[in-house]
Amino acid sequence: MEHINNYINEHKDRFINELIELLKIPSISADPAYKADVLNCAEAVAKVMEDAGADNIEICETAGYPIVYGEKIIDTNLPTVLVYGHYDVQPADPLELWASGPFKPVIKKTDIHPEGAIFARGACDDKGQFYMHVKAFELMMKTDSLPCNVKFMIEGEEEVGSDNLGAFVKENKERLKCDTILISDTGIISNDNPSITTGLKGLSYLEVEVTGPNRDLHSGLYGGAVANPINILCEMIAKMKDEKNHIIIPGFYDNVLELSQEERADIARAPFSLERYKSDLDLSDIHGEEGYSTMERTGIRPTLDVNGIWGGYTGEGAKTVIPSKAFAKISMRLVPNQSDEEITEKFTKFFEKIAPKSVKVKVKPHHGGEPYVSPTDIPAYQAASKAMENTCGKKPVPVRSGGSIPIVALFEAELGVKSILMGFGLDSDAIHSPNEHYGIFNYLKGIETIPHFFANYAKAH
Ligand code: BES
Ligand code: MN
Ligand code: MN
């Protein structure tokens, strides 16, 4: 497999520069102001696929942003790997917290990335990671070492809930037929501790509205005599968890799959330093559901968090007012065997029940998704594990992530195929945050590891 490192050494500067070009396109799917940029990005993705040697490239229109498809079928008797990724990115705000422009990629060294990291929105999530696949594919094509068929499906709506991908998958089952799905949109524990993500959380995301009086009121004339919807909303949110941080929505844990002592012992064996975790985040103490470790809280326990809360006066100075309305965005991360629909319904019932008569409430569901777990005893997982062992010098540990990629459960339901989550990001890469970055080491390590996966998988299949 010497050809892999030789090819990377020869071409790595170009690999980095090409990624930088892609990162200059502000493909923010959430904000309609960037529509032209998202569409341009789809064109750019189609172009890089073509340059790498893919056939039958198509920019597939949907009701939202297009899905870029491409493939290389070398022999229909060989197994087929479907690569999924997303070319859309999160909004870049708050802009003032970026040390350099979110769409002006720069390479800087950090303590964690002594070899340098590319700073830009989407560097790690997910342009840098799906581009590793494009470059690994180029490498296999150019060195005549592609051992199986490849299909690429790179979408443009992951960060806004993949609303149109489900229909595309349902309508294109034949085209997407494959033996395994390979995704790099997750992370590893650290550059010295390789890991493979074996679980993704589901998601129920809602917006709530609490209405008090029919108009904003003078807080002196009416204060204390009518319900203040912000106060009420805060009280209602406080009623969602008990003093042990258990969620007390009736039936919330009914379907939660409890792990065996053995599985929990496995989680405890993964390298993790609570002291490092706290110091990274400047926290004097951690927080969470009693009876579970930090890794369990993020990996295997469902959670409930307020993502945003607003209402009343938040401008300069003071305005004495009791607002008519208050709002919050609330998300619940789900684990097997909870479902988005079930939890959304239980939340809604509970929220309506605990609302005092002095206010009216509305609950509006946003996008959601189902949880996913990948087994470790299937050929594709073994191929990924061996690939990482080959290139990282250590067997990767399986880790359940707190993040969600809702489409992965849908792939399983519709295509009947398991996904392997072989990502190379780090938690410290600041995805969805200002100063997102992706280590050059991680980028090149991914490009190096993917051809090993293909070779191992083709052999095992
Ligand atoms: N790539 C992330 C998910 C992720 C990151 C999983 C790191 C595991 C480790 C993905 O782009 C993402 O941000 N997903 C959203 C869900 C989506 C419906 C907006 C999330 O997890 O909040
Ligand atoms: Mn992502
Ligand atoms: Mn994301």
- pLDDT, tens only, 373-428: 999 999 999 999 999 999 999 999 999 999 999 999 999 999 999 999 999 999 99
What pLDDT does residue 186 have? Answer: 98
| CATH annotation of 2-200+371-460 | 3.40.630.10
Q: Which residues surround ligand 2, an ion (CB under 5 A)?
A: 125-126, 185
199 vs 28: CA distance, rounded Å? 26
Q: How far apart are the first and last CA of the chain?
A: 19
Domain 202-256+302-369 in CATH 3.30.70.360: yes
**Closest C-alpha residue for ligand 1 atom 15:** 404
What is the whole-number distance in angstroms between the Cα of residue 192 and the centre of ligand 2? Answer: 22
Closest ligand by atom to 298 CA? 1
**105 pocket-lining for ligand 1 (C-beta < 6 Å):** no
Tens digits of per-residue pLDDT, 353-372? 999 999 999 999 998 999 99
371 Cβ inside 6 Å of ligand 1 = no
pLDDT at 250: 98
pLDDT at 461: 80
Instruction: Name 309's bridge partners.
Output: 328
pLDDT at 367: 85
Residue ranges of E strands in 335-415 = 360-369, 372-373, 397-400
pLDDT at 1: 87
Instruction: Tell me which DSSP letter residue 221 carries.
Output: T
How many CB atoms are closer than 10 A to CB 268? Answer: 11
pTM of the model: 0.95
Domain ranges within the chain, ordered by starting residue? 2-200+371-460, 202-256+302-369
Distance CA 46, CA 444 (A): 22
Rounded to whole angstroms, how far apart are CA atoms 358 and 326? 14
403 ligand 1 Cβ < 6 A:
yes
pLDDT confidence of residue 75: 97
In this prediction, residue 368 carries a pLDDT of 92
> What does the pLDDT read at residue 92?
97
Angle at 383 between CA 126 and CA 440, to 5 degrees: 35
As averages over each run of 10 residues, the pLDDT of the chain (461 residues) reads: 96 98 98 98 98 98 98 97 98 97 98 97 98 98 98 97 95 98 97 97 97 98 98 98 98 95 91 93 97 97 97 97 98 97 98 98 95 96 98 96 96 97 97 98 98 97 80
From the list 417, 321, 441, the residue with the least C-alpha distance to 82 is 417
- In angstroms, the CA 216 to CA 32 distance is 31
